[in-house]
Amino acid sequence: MQYLKRIFFCFVLLSFLLQACQAIPRYFKDERPNFLIIVTDDQRYDTMQYMPNTQELIFDQGVTFSSGYVTTPYCCSSRASILTGLYSHNHGVYVNEDKLDYKTVVEDMHKNGYYTGLVGKYLNSWDGSMRPEYDFWVSFWGGTVPSYYDPDLNINGTWSKHTGYITYLFKDQAIQFLDKATSQRKPFLLLFTPNAPHAPYTPAKEDSALYQDLPPFRPASFNEEDISDKPESISNKPFLTEEEIVSLDKTRRRQILTLTALDRSIKEVMDKLEATGELDNTVVIFISDNGKHWGEHRLDQKNTAYEESVKVPFAIRYPPLVPTPYTEDRLVANIDIAPTLYELSDTKMPKIMDGLSLVSLLSGTDVWRTSVLMEAWPDRGHWTSVHTGQYVYIENDGYISEFYDLKVDPLEMENKINADEYQSIIQELQATLQKEIVPKIDLPAK
């Protein structure tokens, strides 16, 4: 009898200890901030007017970067820079087919106790399968889906076809991630990377009738009359035909329609974040991987050094660091996201980093960069650029160099590379470029 009492006592004690262990997360929750990083695909900097919910919930409640740029305006390269804080010539992803072999901030934060997830596009060179540094994974093969409807998705290691509109499917999965992430004591990092407004820019069916009367996009640089001062790969382009102009107008409208559905989806994700009680403890960052031309300089592409390609919408909402909304005019870039995550998550930062943590900028520092390097390896050849926010100096391999004063010529229509009044500035930027392009990491020759 005494023996049975002892067994019963041990059983009761064990049950009590198990209940106490289960309660530990409630009392010892890791108080480091969460992170929600939203990366859109091919979204121009001048399209936020079509995303009123996102504007109100993120931009208008945090800091809007009026001079936000990507250092390589190409999907895979730009996303690799977001994940590493490095220029392309240091992380080695030059074009969409290149694989990223360098360690990412997600890997380090995962090791440092973060619950991690990716919902959407990863890298164009990735096959869509689940990666080990992510606890939650929803993605597709490569960088482009054939249609926004009924995609093949890899969800946590399993491939299957999913019925519905891809933006809404991603939204639902992001909300599922938040349910899982906020039920434990770990802080979380979610990369929400929908493919809108990338080709094939399929609108949601309920939006297909919107913006029928969208005014034509016709800045002075549209189908530019004189492009003889541009590099040969551009200056040889013929005028856009009427058929091409009609196609560009359709593309623009369809891109905007995909942003309409994405805007509703982001609102639902933000509403869910608020419902969990974690909104104000979450660093929300919004950025696009690059822009895209809509006919400026007779172009319909990305991967150029011009504003339409390299300038992107960029904002951060995080009340502990940005208690009062404002617009920041100083120069920031996609390479600044990784070092910001390292600092705010209290994760050891790699010794090699091209970007700067935005924490000091948002804390009111007077010391900040005065220029940023940009570079690309498109079909027309390699170019490098130094951008100061006002001045743009571009070196095109084998072609004429370019210089623009955005204060005087915001549409970059007059190449002033030979203008006497700018020669001292050009010389300074040439020296800066030569310093910045020196690799910090030994990579195979391109």
Is the pLDDT at 107 greater than 60? The verdict is: yes
Residue range 268-283: average pLDDT?
A: 98
Report the alpha-carbon distance of residue 425 to residue 373 in Å, rounded.
16
pLDDT the model gives residue 28: 64
Q: Nearest Cα to 405, choosing from 416, 395, 396, 394? A: 416
Summarize pLDDT for 149-203 with one digit per residue, the tens.
999 999 999 999 999 999 999 999 999 999 999 999 999 999 999 999 999 999 9
**Average pLDDT score, the chain:** 94
pLDDT the model gives residue 381: 83
The confidence band for 23, taking pLDDT boundaries of 50, 70 and 90, is: very low
Q: Nearest Cα to 391, choosing from 416, 357, 367? A: 416
> Domains of the chain by range and CATH?
31-362 (3.40.720.10)
The token duo for 155 is: 């969800």
Residue range 89-101: average pLDDT?
A: 97
Pairing of the two strands 332-333 and 68-69: parallel
Pairing of the two strands 282-288 and 115-120: unpaired
pLDDT the model gives residue 378: 87
pLDDT the model gives residue 29: 79
The confidence band for 25, taking pLDDT boundaries of 50, 70 and 90, is: very low
Is the pLDDT at 372 greater than 60? The verdict is: yes
Cα–chain center distance at 167:
16
pLDDT the model gives residue 76: 98
What is the percent of the chain where pLDDT is above 90?
90
pLDDT the model gives residue 26: 38
- Three-class SS of residue 333? strand
The confidence band for 398, taking pLDDT boundaries of 50, 70 and 90, is: confident
Residue with tokens 């002033």: 416
The token duo for 434 is: 């030569």
Summarize pLDDT for 342-365 with one digit per residue, the tens.
999 999 999 999 999 999 999 999
Question: 24: part of which helix (H) or strand (E)?
Answer: helix 2-27
Is the pLDDT at 442 greater than 70? The verdict is: yes
Higher pLDDT, 13 or 293: 293
